[in-house]
Amino acid sequence: MEKSFEQLSTEIVELVAEHLGYTNAINLDDRLDGVLCADSIDIVELIMYIEGIYDVELPEHETGQIKTVRDIVNHVYNAINQK
């Protein structure tokens, strides 16, 4: 199931807000450990949650590079398009 970057961005922003219990507007460039106040465990759980929803597995060396919501979208988008 191919999704546009914009569609995936919208979905992932909603998933991030839901998973972290964040009620304010989320921007793609918001830092997970900054504006969204996620600690390292929250980030790992969030990535695993999103991997499960999109049936992708992000390489462990890439997950350590994820700092913003946009980073998640980019990695998931690339993983979906490599299937």
User: Which residue matches tokens 């979906």?
Assistant: 80
Question: In the chain, where are the structural domains located?
Answer: 5-81
In sequence order, what DSSP letters do the residues of 24-36 get, joined into one string? S---TT-BTTTTT
pLDDT in tens, 16-42: 999 999 999 999 999 999 999 999 999
Task: Kindly report the pTM of this predicted structure.
Answer: 0.92
Which tokens in the block code for residue 36?
């969204």
Percent of residues in the chain assigned helix, strand, coil, to nearest 5: 60, 0, 40
State the average pLDDT for the chain.
94
| Range list of H helices, 21-58 | 40-54
- Angle, alpha carbons 68-65-82 (nearest 5°): 95
Q: Which CATH class is domain 5-81?
A: mainly alpha
